[in-house]
Chains A and B, each alone.
Chain A
Amino acid sequence: MADKQISETAPKKGKWTRRAFIGAGVVAGGALLVGVAVRPDNPVERLSPMVAKGKGEQLINAWVKIDADNIVTAIIPHVEMGQGIFTSLAQMLADELDADWSKVRILEAPADAKYVSHDIGREFLAPNLEVPAILEPTVGGTFLQLATAMNLQITGGSFSVRGTGQRAMRVAGAAAKEMLIAAAAEEWDVPAGELRAENSMILHDKSSKSAPFADFAAAAADQGLPNKPKLKSPKDYKLMGKAMARHDIPDKSNGTALFGIDADLPGMKYAAVRAAPVVGATVESMNVDSAKAMPGVLQILNMGDFIAVVADGYWQAEQALGTIDAKYSKTEGDKLNQDALFARYASVLDEAGDDGGDVETEQGDVTDAFANAATKVEAEYKVPFLAHATMEPMNCTAWVRDGKCDVWSGHQAPLMARKAAADTLGIDTDDVTYHNAYLGGGFGRRSENDVIIMATRIAKAVPYPVKMIWSREEDTMQDHYRPSATSRFQAGLDKDGKAVSWSNIHTHLFDPQEAPTVPYYNIANHKIRKIDVPTHLRFGPWRSVDHSQHGYFIESFVDELAHAAGKDGYAYRRELLAGSARHLAVLDKAAEMSGWDTPMPEGHGRGIAFVPSFGTIVAEVAEVDMTGAKPKVKKIYVAADPGFAVNPDGFAAQMESSIAYGLTATLYGEISVKDGAVQQSNFHDYPILRINEMPEVEVGIINGDHKRLGGAGEPGLPPLAPAVTNAIFAATGKRVRELPLSKANFA
């Protein structure tokens, strides 16, 4: 795993340049250290104090260190949860630096304000300066008061490569190279223009002189900081665009990779927990008579909203917890039942009529266009709540002593985790040391602070370090869920079948704001509205966030329009995308890969779906066999344009991953509520796709615009469900308007 220890150091000097803030200095052993922070394009009064941290402090997005032994170290302000980000970001830095890849090391930046990723904040904050909705529920009203609104050091929104990579890692590499070349030019007394870098060496071709970077590390720090480090054009890329082996895979293949759950401390004890089944309820009473007599049990704590049993071993704690009978307070949430919730969605949408709800986007006159349409199409779709079900159950280890606290976990936003622990204890963030480990799956779940807060509260109540582990049951029943939702559409087609009006109203909108919109489809009149129907359940970002629902809604409805127009789904989407070459190229590639026009066997079907999200354009074709008792998804063809795939194999892996994650949701995913509590608890009633159900996957990548990079972790997911359900329609003529498929009867 990435080494977390790096020496405390600040750049010796630094300045804002046209690209970014660049700082440089010499650290222990004569190593050159170059750090880069990205300058917000719209400096705003409210943000400026957060950007200028004070003397000697900067918000650094990327660091590169060049040691005396010529080792290049990339220090990366993101977390690794399976997306391969350490490797991709290091590729970007090392390529610009012309470093020898075999001598590149990677460190995860510690949870320290110096290593923040304000870039993700900037993406959301500029230009309209709204707090990213994705973060609101996780940090609540405290977000802006953090006074480090940009200090997000967060991994999410498929943002690492397109944000930090493009704007900071590459700049750091290019700046370091220019400084090394300047130092070598001085040393050898030759013009800098005659020098070049290759494999961590500086070369002077005229004199055949060459020397390792390390020879100039100390002198480089005294060179002027590059005003605008020159970034490579794609023809000069040596590492970017290549399928590089991920650096974390060996340790993940021999059991040595350390996850949050693997934290180990001298004298550490273990906590098993059970929260009140209905969120918001409290533990009114508990019978601990048998539990307290059980072996290894040290403490039984009524924490109000949950019960904790602390014992010498986790199994002992869990066994004892299982014997505790508890009574919980009554809450408003107790009244919530899933069927009633969908009924409530329906009645709220009914009441909204043609004008209710909040308008998200509007163009033209849908009412008029719909009234005059030759063909009218209407449909309603429903999706359930979903849990994240990361393979590593939620866990956190904390040790509170002497007014200070150490916390160990795997979190998508280490600085937020540190702040949450500090707030829980009422101490300064400087008195909390947060240690991040590999994340055994994130998918959005590990951007929440509930687990950190619970462990810190338990640790405060005991005199030793304590590792809290959630059972799979707690993990399933106490998640921050992908919201359930209902979406209704009305569209009008002209006599040629062309869509002239598009109306949509749906319950709930979380993030991103554009998820329900279809600006890429050429439809003259459209109106999209939302109505919030809040419940006591906690919502959280779930892989691809609202695109996970709206991708299914939109692409199912587009298929219905195609059918109403008497056209096939591919041809119909081609017409809707007319004029957008980049979008069409992706759609065409998926169709071509799948042999769209070739016939399918009886009972088999092919479906297509198209969803751009997180800056990446994706089209998927699903092949489904409907001849058996339940749908069998045979193959998925993915065409994707992420602008430029920095690590194509890593990108393909993320597409495969999104398909598996999306197919689980399509086939099985359903969290339902009864009397306010989640009914599912483990993999028997919240099943996950297994290897025997995994379709073949073929990925085709288009590098459509190297200047505008898209994400990888999420965009493969939204088209999956509709591609599958559209294929089912093609095979059977049955339109699936509610997920998961396990609820449908195909007999």
Chain B
Amino acid sequence: MVTLNVNGQVKELDVDPATPILWVVRENLKMTGTKFGCGVALCGACTVHLDGKPVRSCSTPVSEADGKAITTIEGLAEEDGTFSKIQQAWVDQQVAQCGYCQSGQIMSATALLKNNPNPSDEQIDAAMAGNICRCGTYVRIRKAIKTAAGASSETQEA
């Protein structure tokens, strides 16, 4: 048995501890927002947070999540569905196209802004370079991260 804390909910699951977090979240917990892209931590589509840090869930066994908190894309919005600042910036900047990689993009961006509320262009590029988008939404991802960063600093000032 593996005990997992996902988006604040604690679950006991009968899975092989070597199973990557990705497949446990998708198949056992039926939370399909986290996506399979490459299976070898090259594309970032499967990005989730482990204690707030972005990890590639396709290559991280559930055993590593023991005693830690997993956050997935489903855990970002408030309980009433209100989007996080980053999610809202994604809508405002009309980022998504096919949308498949966007859960991973948003998880990486969320982790970035948590540690660095006002990232420079170079810092955005460095933090987001692990997430591939085949539709080429990169221009808008940059804008959305800037928008969200601006929104955060305004809130702090207020």
Residues 222-254 of chain A: 1 if any B CB is under 8 Å from the residue's CB, otherwise 0? 000000000000000000000001101111111
Given the interface pairs A438-B99, A472-B40, the reply to whether A270 lies near B27 with Cβ below 8 Å is yes
Given the interface pairs A660-B135, A683-B42, A689-B136, the reply to whether A255 lies near B34 with Cβ below 8 Å is yes
B137 partner residues in chain A, CB cutoff 8 A: 653, 656-657, 660
**Interface membership of B37, Cβ < 8 A:** yes
* Chain B residue with Cβ nearest A698: B139
Interface residues of A in 622-678 (CB under 8 A from B): 649-650, 653, 656-661
Task: Give A652 Cβ to nearest chain B Cβ, in Å.
Answer: 9
* Chain B residue with Cβ nearest A689: B136
Bound together, the chains give a CA A4 to CA B36 distance in angstroms of: 24
Given the interface pairs A83-B97, A391-B43, the reply to whether A472 lies near B35 with Cβ below 8 Å is no
On whether the beta carbons of A683 and B43 are closer than 8 Å, the reply is yes
On whether the beta carbons of A688 and B103 are closer than 8 Å, the reply is no
Identify B32's interface contact among A262, A318, A439, A694, CB under 8 A.
A262
Interface residues of B in 32-78 (CB under 8 A from A): 32-40, 42-43, 45, 72-74, 76-77
Most buried by A among B33, B72, B99: B99
Task: Give A691 Cβ to nearest chain B Cβ, in Å.
Answer: 4
Identify B33's interface contact among A256, A389, A440, CB under 8 A.
A256
On whether the beta carbons of A249 and B128 are closer than 8 Å, the reply is no
**Interface membership of B113, Cβ < 8 A:** no
B36 partner residues in chain A, CB cutoff 8 A: 261, 314, 393, 469
* Chain B residue with Cβ nearest A257: B99
Interface residues of A in 669-707 (CB under 8 A from B): 682-684, 688-692, 694, 696-697
Given the interface pairs A82-B98, A313-B19, A438-B98, the reply to whether A391 lies near B132 with Cβ below 8 Å is yes
On whether the beta carbons of A259 and B100 are closer than 8 Å, the reply is yes
On whether the beta carbons of B139 and A697 are closer than 8 Å, the reply is yes
On whether the beta carbons of B91 and A313 are closer than 8 Å, the reply is no
On whether the beta carbons of A253 and B87 are closer than 8 Å, the reply is yes
* Chain B residue with Cβ nearest A683: B42
* Chain A residue with Cβ nearest B99: A252
A659 partner residues in chain B, CB cutoff 8 A: 136
* Chain A residue with Cβ nearest B76: A254
Q: Is the interface of B mostly helix, strand, loop or mixed?
A: loop
On whether the beta carbons of B35 and A392 are closer than 8 Å, the reply is yes
Residues 255-292 of chain A: 1 if any B CB is under 8 Å from the residue's CB, otherwise 0? 11111011010000010000000000000000000000
Interface residues of B in 116-158 (CB under 8 A from A): 124-126, 128-142
Given the interface pairs A253-B95, A255-B72, A691-B125, the reply to whether A660 lies near B39 with Cβ below 8 Å is no
Residues 438-479 of chain A: 1 if any B CB is under 8 Å from the residue's CB, otherwise 0? 111111000000000000000000000000010110000000
On whether the beta carbons of B95 and A313 are closer than 8 Å, the reply is no
On whether the beta carbons of B139 and A696 are closer than 8 Å, the reply is yes
B33 partner residues in chain A, CB cutoff 8 A: 254-256
The 9 closest A-B pairs by CB, nearest first: A255-B33, A660-B136, A252-B99, A440-B100, A82-B98, A82-B97, A255-B73, A694-B138, A252-B96
A-B contact pairs, 6 of them (CB 8 A): A253-B90, A391-B98, A392-B100, A440-B35, A440-B100, A441-B100
By a beta-carbon cutoff of 8 Å, the part of chain A in contact with chain B is: 81-84, 245-246, 248-259, 261-262, 264, 270, 295, 313-316, 318, 389-393, 438-443, 469, 471-472, 649-650, 653, 656-661, 682-684, 688-692, 694, 696-697
